[in-house]
Homo-oligomer: A and B are copies of this chain.
């Protein structure tokens, strides 16, 4: 599978065949479904999480840096996650991120239809555990004009095919911390909680 494009949630439901690390390759791409953002969604998210005038009030926003109402960058990030999780990137065990880099080259505005295009840029099997590894996924969130509103370069924990181990599991975060990969510094550590 070089470039997965799902067009309905039903496609996604049928896709029972989730990917493990061994199924991925650098350059592999995925395109999510799309989501239209409206004024109500923007104001509702902002009221709860980012109550600043340029996200809440059209008149105040018109006189701001943005020259109009814009979504919180964290709203764009949250919607990007929804698109990844509901059809964007079908990883076995779910999308478990340890962190990443985020940039908002331009804001999301009311009426924008967002879609995420993801590309595998790096794959690092764990040095110490045969059943997991780290994948770097670069996710561009684009509006209906193809303009990029967010770039998220995410560090994901991804399970591997069962190898010597008789008990495959999701990655644990200690593995990652214990590893030598340069991205592993960002990863979770859950002291006192080991799965293997």
A77-B77, A102-B102 known; A82+B51 contact, CB < 8 A = yes
Q: Which A residues between 88 and 111 are near B, CB-CB below 8 angstroms? A: 93-107
Interface size on A, residues (CB 8 A): 50
A74-B97 Cα distance, complex, nearest whole Å:
10
A196-B77 Cα distance, complex, nearest whole Å:
30
Copies in the complex: 2
B188 & A104 in contact (Cβ 8 Å cutoff): yes
B105 & A188 in contact (Cβ 8 Å cutoff): yes
B97 & A78 in contact (Cβ 8 Å cutoff): no
Residues of B within 8 A of A72 (CB): 78, 81
Residues of B within 8 A of A45 (CB): 78
A78-B49, A81-B50, A101-B101 known; A189+B95 contact, CB < 8 A = no
A188 & B106 in contact (Cβ 8 Å cutoff): yes
> Is A173 on the interface with B (CB-CB < 8 A)?
yes
Residues of B within 8 A of A193 (CB): 67
> Is A186 on the interface with B (CB-CB < 8 A)?
yes
A79-B45 Cα distance, complex, nearest whole Å:
11
Chain A residues proximal to chain B, CB less than 8 Å: 45, 48-54, 64-67, 72-75, 77-79, 81-82, 85-86, 93-107, 151, 157, 170-173, 186, 188-190, 193, 195
A-B contact pairs, 8 of them (CB 8 A): A48-B82, A50-B82, A65-B195, A67-B193, A74-B74, A97-B104, A98-B104, A99-B104
If A50-B85, A51-B86, A67-B190 are given as contacts, then 15 extra A-B residue pairs at C-beta distance below 8 Å, sorted by A number, are: A45-B78, A48-B82, A52-B95, A54-B94, A65-B93, A65-B96, A65-B195, A74-B77, A78-B78, A97-B104, A98-B103, A99-B104, A101-B102, A105-B188, A106-B190
